[in-house]
Amino acid sequence: MQLHSLLPPNLRLKLLWGIGVIGGAVGLLLTGCSRSGSAVERAYAERALHVGNGIEPSTLDPHINTGSSESAILSEIYEPLVERGDDGLTLVPAAAASWAVSPDGLTYTFHLRQDRRWSNGDPVTADDFLQSFRRFVDPRLAAEFSARATSVVGVPAYLRGELKDPTQLGFSAPDPYTFVITLSAPNVVFIQNLIAYPWVPVHMPTLDATGGRLRDNQNWVKPGVMVTNGALQLTEWRPNSRIVLTPNPHHPDHTKVWLRTVNYYPIEDLDTEERAYRAGQLHATTSLPSAKVATYVAEKNPALQITPRLGVSFFVFNTRRPPFDDPRVRQAFSAAIDRAALVKAAYQGGYTAAYTLSQPGMGGYQPAAPITDGPGEARDLLAAAGYPDGKGFPPITYLYNTLDRNRVVAEIVQQMWARELGVKVELVNQEWKVFLDTRHRGDYSIARAGWNPFANEPTDYFELFITGGSNNETGWSNPTFDALYQQALQTFDVPARHALYQTMDGIIRDEAPCAPLVFSSTVRLVHPSVQHWPNNIMDSRSLRNVTLVGETP
């Protein structure tokens, strides 16, 4: 059977090679001639997987990365201490064969596998984790996710510059294959944070040889230079075109990897990505245009996958500058958003309107402090802040990164704010790397944001708004909220912890440093020839286990 015959007749389309990609990935995918068939048709013989990856990665340095397009690649080339099982929730051994937690919940002891090797053949040892975790929390690196490590002994003082000696941090390697993390206080989600970046080891000799261990050294994340410890390794990176991974011959599981190559393509426009799939150039897409979902559902197309997932999209307000230093203005902009209409217009396939920051059902929690939205309340709030019908409201901008759905959402909400509040909002679109830097500098009025959690607990979302947190780009600060967050991390009694979450949800609702929009769903196309594609609530992937079915060569 030819592979293309697995597709419905209306999907057996062929586009010309070299299709242009909107958003920068020019000269998409492959070279070749029609005589050799599409990528999908040749894939079984070549053992090659071709997947869309949305946005061109800003970096493959796991300690400073913050994006999901990068994390999909990092999860393949790095092996953390522990990882998620097929269900996306269960924790299973990875670089550590086993681990133990002390009765007081403060000491985590990991026993490393002794057969693990870096992609250059060096053994992976406890010292690699020790040096890497010290780098991750080094204040000179300024890693955005370093707040995730503040439960570790000494880390808060180290990040503030009050502690200078990294040997006094709660990381230790008593022998080459034992790694210990000591916390200053129990943390109910700490072990879940260790599943992926930034809690992976990096090969320090490579960093040292290419320019050092700090952020300005990106020479080490290049093909032929980068050394990693996962089952796959980086072989090719053509910016805005393609990233290629191949099996790491020194990883003990490399013989279990059926694929010879995993090829990622940064395609920012969802319509272009969907056409590339229909052309036989992709096995899997990042997502699917909202307007196309109903068609695939009606066809009962076997390629369509819709899976609920943990994740939230939201707007953040810059509370450091007027007019969003006034919580009434922030509440007004949030209340003016018709979330149900937004979901219907811009999202299809399982997305739901978000009226709280925390996600219903996350860790068994059910929030009870929802945002009250409506144009009447929004106008009243804006008037109370001194801007009746939007009169006298200063010029503001909404910042978002290049992606087709982001543009659609921006235009819809811009119209809602104009209609309900009488204010004009200028839309500012930036390429991903520039957008991240602009938002981090606080050079915005309102900005797009989103979060796919590491842990199945609302604390994963609340951490984004703690005072001084490396992920808090709003400037908002609330000492009561901070104290509740720390208390929740140390509360192992579930009902008591959930009661703390309710109070925190109420604070977020009342002070509105953000405006939650939608809770996520994974909507993508996966070719029927692809076997063992992971599909779970965390969208946790391990493509090294994928195989393809088709003709033998």
Ordered domains of the chain (ranges, CATH): 3-56+239-303+526-548 (3.40.190.10), 76-208 (3.90.76.10), 307-521 (3.10.105.10)
The b-or-e profile of 200-218 (16+ CB within 10 A means b, else e) is bbbbbebbeeeeebeeeee
C-beta of residue 39 within 8 angstroms of C-beta of residue 30:
yes
As given in the structure block, the two tokens for residue 259 are 């694929």
For residue 21 the two structure tokens come to 């990609």
| Amino acid identity for residue 501 in this structure | Y
Backbone angles phi, psi at 11, to 5 degrees: -105, 0
Measure the CA angle with vertex 360, ends 371 and 358; round to 5°: 60
Give residue 548's Cα distance to chain centre. 27
The whole-angstrom separation of Cα 391 and Cα 138 is 47
Query: What is the model's pTM?
Result: 0.86
Contact indicator for 20, 26 with CB cutoff of 8 Å: yes
10: left (phi over 0), alpha (psi -120 to 50) or beta: alpha
The DSSP letter of residue 166 is G
Instruction: Please give the radius of gyration of the chain, using alpha carbons only, rounded to the nearest integer.
Output: 24
Which token pair is 41? 């048709």
| pLDDT tens track, the chain, 553 positions | 333 333 333 333 222 222 333 333 434 443 333 335 788 989 999 999 999 998 899 999 999 998 888 999 999 999 999 999 988 889 999 999 999 999 999 999 999 999 999 999 999 999 999 999 999 999 999 998 898 899 999 999 999 999 999 999 999 999 999 999 999 999 999 999 999 889 999 999 999 999 999 999 999 999 999 999 999 999 999 999 999 999 999 999 999 999 999 999 999 899 999 999 999 999 999 999 988 999 999 999 999 999 999 999 999 999 999 999 999 999 999 999 999 999 999 998 889 999 999 999 999 999 998 987 789 999 999 999 999 999 999 999 999 998 888 999 999 999 999 999 999 999 999 998 899 999 999 999 999 999 999 899 999 999 999 998 878 999 999 999 999 999 999 999 999 999 999 999 999 999 999 999 999 999 999 999 999 998 899 988 889 899 999 853 3
Q: What would the two tokens of residue 37 be?
A: 């068939």
